[in-house]
Amino acid sequence: MVSFSENRRDLLFIALLLVSVPIVAGLSVALRPVRVRVGRDFRPNLVSAGGQTTELLTVENVGVQPLSGVRWRETGPMGTTPMPRDLPLPPLSGLGGAWGRSGGWDGFGEGPDAAARTVRLEFPLAPHARGRYEYGPVVLARSDPFGLVMARWAVGGRHELVVTPRVTPLPGRGHASMLGGGEALERQRLLNQNSDELIAREYRPGDSLRRVNWPATARHGEIMVRQEEHRSDSGVRFVLDTLAPAESGAREVDRARRASAFELGVEVAASVCTHLLAAGYRVDVVELGPAQLGTARLGRASNGATAATDAAPLGATGLGGSPVAGNGAGGTAGSGDPVSYRGSGGISHLLEDLAGILQVPAEARDAGTGEPNGPLAPPRSRVPRGALPTFAVLGAGAALDLAVLAALAASARPAIAFVLEPVPTDASERLREAGWRCIPVRSAIALPEAWLDSVGGRGALHEPA
């Protein structure tokens, strides 16, 4: 208005310039949208807590125009490794090929093919706690040449990184003298040629002549070969306590101590079960709380998984058993059956399941819910029939179901409980009276010594041939 009233064209020009610059800046950003395709991968995609993995991002320009002047940052969960923020994205050529051929570029610096359509960005991640963490999307930002307007785009989906519990190596490869089975005994059975271990069947093309059973051939009048009649494979039961005592009126320090004890219990479970699986045993895991194991892998193909069958309610006679299980995890999530693990595939499935397991309030035991992370399956209230060597990790204190544990001990040969700090002395005494051998565990460092104590010292360990 002043410029019009006083005929000051210079002021009018400056005013129009100041108004038009932000408009032009906004148009320059709006008319140059970012069109990219983002891929994400972790190598390895299964990492132990405290370990390190590498996140690999692949950014491809799918627009016609070249892409330059863009900055990027990754989004991830709070409390993990700091994510790269506001880093420059190398220039990318468009589909028109204005900046040369298609190719790739590695790292954060200038590469020999920096103007390709695709760029690969790598950076390390070191999660310190177990869990399932979601990363993504990538946020791209571009500003106008004057830095007046900034536009951001969230591109790409989310990708889950599974962080498994730490596994403490335990001495020895098994204790066949104590459990009566495992890899060593199975090998002895295969090498044993006693008649009560063998059955004869008709010869089939491809059978070795060294397996011809001549007495059976003479009796039947046709060629018969020896076939090993395998006994039921050796199994171990592991009881996992996921219950938490009532938190009403509990101090913050008490809640922190219980949470720390639960994490130690998960590490004990991972270490002991991994050790037994590596020694050739099948491990049947029973949860005292609502069923969680296996639920995160619903919908995925299980490598040879079969459900544990012939089950009886907890507290009935004849607990324990030997379900048929494949090279992986068995049991239907939420069915009430124990989850069975076996072989190398069972180790990875077990650790993946333990990565996301939660401590739930004792009140959720019968309700089948485990807030705050949503509903869980009903409690696993059945275990297969038959006596099995049984290990347990217990840390719920007053929330322990001593009647259930007593029933388990009655069918366990032996029954060994790794007792954590929250379990009071009187509860430990009642467990001993029920037949459990209670071994205190206060830290992961003490776990190897506790394991030696559980198997009766070094003399009880048996190294498979």
What is the distance between the alpha carbons of residues 197 and 403, in angstroms, rounded to a whole number? 40
Q: Residue 84 has which token pair? A: 């790269």
Segment 404-424 mean pLDDT: 87
- pTM for the complete prediction? 0.73
Confidence at residue 310, expressed as pLDDT on a 0 to 100 scale: 33
pLDDT tens figures, 141-182: 998 888 888 899 999 999 999 999 999 999 875 444 445 544
* Cβ neighbours for 214, distance < 8 A, ≥ 6 positions apart: none
Quick one: CA torsion of 98, 103, 107, 112, rounded to 10 degrees? Answer: -70
Q: Say if residue 416's pLDDT is above 90.
A: yes
Round to whole Å and give the CA distance between 112 and 115: 9
CA distance linking residue 357 with residue 297, whole number of Å = 12
CA gap 419, 439 in Å, rounded: 6
Contact, 326 vs 301, CB < 8 A? no
DSSP codes joined into one string, 114-154: TTSSEEEEEEEE---S-EEEEE--EEEEEE-TTS--EEEEE
The average pLDDT across 55-81 equals: 89
Average pLDDT, the chain: 75
Domains of the chain: 32-164 (2.60.40.10), 183-228 (no CATH), 235-460 (3.40.50)
Contact 48, 164 (CB under 8 A): yes
Answer whether 322's CB lies under 8 Å from 233's CB. Answer: yes
Q: Please give the Cα distance from 318 to 384 (Å, whole number).
A: 8
- Helix, strand and coil content of the chain, in percent to the nearest 5, comes to 30, 25, 45
The region of weakest confidence among 125-134, 270-279, 349-358, 360-369 is: 360-369
Measured on CA atoms in the order 164, 165, 168, 174, is the torsion positive or negative? Answer: negative
Residue 374 has a pLDDT of 44
Given this model, what pLDDT does residue 267 score?
Answer: 97
